[in-house]
Amino acid sequence: MGRRILNDALRAIVNAERRSKSTVELQPISTVMSSFLKIMKDRGYIKNFHVHDPHRVGRITVELQGRVTDCRALTYRQDIKAKDIEAYRLRNLPTRQWGYVVVTTPDGILDHEEAISRNVGGQVLGYFH
């Protein structure tokens, strides 16, 4: 169920971007989703996001800026070693210039660049470009 929540939220972001919306509301929420959105914000793909009432069902309001072409969550969390992250990125992202693979590691949820620099592997959550 938790993997489906992340996938539905990311698809809602892509659909809102295609319709040129400035904001989108995501509900229900999870901590993995807010960590994924934090990486998207740090890399400049979304402007900001606000978590409303996180202790109940909650909702997240995301301010978009029109950079997200596609983002997906993998429903099967594929194990990946630190040395294989770059090959996985080249296989799944359209070009070398943009896009990020998000990996959950023992150090937390990281994008592929940070995971390679820390030399940690983990499970692939999803990707965005």
* Percent of the chain whose pLDDT exceeds 70: 98
Count of alpha carbons within 13 Å of 53, Cβ hemisphere only?
A: 7
Count of alpha carbons within 13 Å of 85, Cβ hemisphere only?
A: 27
Length of the chain counted residue by residue:
129
Tell me the per-residue pLDDT of 88-103, one tens digit each, with 9 for 90 and over: 898 888 877 788 999 9
Confidence of residue 2 (pLDDT cuts 50, 70, 90): low
Confidence of residue 55 (pLDDT cuts 50, 70, 90): confident
99: phi > 0 → left, psi -120 to 50 → alpha, else beta; which?
A: left
Tell me the per-residue pLDDT of 11-50, one tens digit each, with 9 for 90 and over: 999 999 999 999 999 998 888 999 999 999 999 999 999 9
pLDDT at 53: 82
Confidence of residue 4 (pLDDT cuts 50, 70, 90): confident
Q: Please give the angle made by the CA atoms of 95, 35 and 82, to the nearest 5 degrees.
A: 55
